[in-house]
Amino acid sequence: MAEKSTIARPYAQAAFDLAKQQGKLKEWSEMLQWLAAVAADDAAMDLVGSPEVSKDAKVKLFVDICGDKLTADGSNLLKVLADNKRLDVLPEIAEQFEEQRAEAEKTVEAEVTTPYPLSDDQQQAMIAALKNRLGREVTLVNKTDESLIGGAIIRAGDLVIDASVTGQLERLTNTLTH
């Protein structure tokens, strides 16, 4: 069976193309996040996976939960997914949509893990450095992990920079043992 990300790709692309054409990337993003949250719920997915529940009832479940967050185009997407037994790939569709949106808007979310919370000045310096390196607007998320001892681990898209003391010690150990 094909991977969910492969199955989700054409749906995410179609949703992105329509949202871009309509000039509603943000609205579609929010709607897909709602749909993905419903699809990630175990109880909802039990109903979606049940052969005894009709396609219309499955779509109605999503429509009822999402309410006014769902547009007519969003309902149409749900119907297509239900017809093709693909409602379970909504989280992957939302994720791929977000990647395409970030690419189109030239933005990236960077996660910085440090042993302590960064100050506002440190965060601004980190944002400026990443913006310069990546050529994109950067949204910074600071997570803490006391086991790092010092330094930081930065993840932005495919880029991973491990400048932590723990990472440096691991690299030194590997160098000395090989």
Same domain, 92 and 129: no
Same domain, 59 and 113: no
Mean pLDDT for the stretch of residues 56-72: 91
157: its two tokens: 């898209």
pLDDT band at 48 (very low <50, low <70, confident <90, very high): confident
pLDDT value of residue 87: 92
Percent of the chain at pLDDT above 90? 61
pLDDT value of residue 74: 94
pLDDT band at 37 (very low <50, low <70, confident <90, very high): very high
Range of the domain at 34: 4-102
Same domain, 121 and 41: no
What SS3 state is found at 140? strand
The answer to which of 24-38, 39-53, 114-128, 135-149 has the lowest mean pLDDT is 39-53
Same domain, 95 and 154: no
Same domain, 126 and 153: yes
Name 112's bridge partners.
142, 154
Please tell me the distance from the alpha carbon of residue 116 to that of residue 104, in angstroms, as a whole number.
Answer: 33
**Which of 81, 102, 123 is the last residue before a domain boundary?**
102
Amino acid (one-letter) located at 66? C
Q: Write down the mean pLDDT value for the chain.
A: 91
pLDDT value of residue 47: 84
CA atoms within 13 A of residue 75's CA, in its CB half-sphere: 13
pLDDT band at 32 (very low <50, low <70, confident <90, very high): very high
pLDDT value of residue 178: 83
Using the structure block, give the residue that is written with the tokens 């939302």. Answer: 94
Same domain, 84 and 119: no
Please tell me the distance from the alpha carbon of residue 160 to that of residue 110, in angstroms, as a whole number.
Answer: 10
Mean pLDDT for the stretch of residues 140-167: 89
Mean pLDDT for the stretch of residues 110-139: 93
Mean pLDDT for the stretch of residues 69-79: 94
Mean pLDDT for the stretch of residues 29-45: 91
**Which of 102, 121, 148 is the last residue before a domain boundary?**
102
Please tell me the distance from the alpha carbon of residue 49 to that of residue 77, in angstroms, as a whole number.
Answer: 18
Using the structure block, give the residue that is written with the tokens 């569709």. Answer: 93
Name 114's bridge partners.
144
Domain count, the chain: 2
pLDDT band at 2 (very low <50, low <70, confident <90, very high): low
pLDDT value of residue 128: 94
**Which of 102, 127, 148 is the last residue before a domain boundary?**
102
pLDDT exceeds cutoff 70 at 58? yes
Same domain, 143 and 90: no
Please tell me the distance from the alpha carbon of residue 126 to that of residue 103, in angstroms, as a whole number.
Answer: 20
- Looking only at the bridges linking them, the beta strands covering 137-144 and 107-114 are parallel
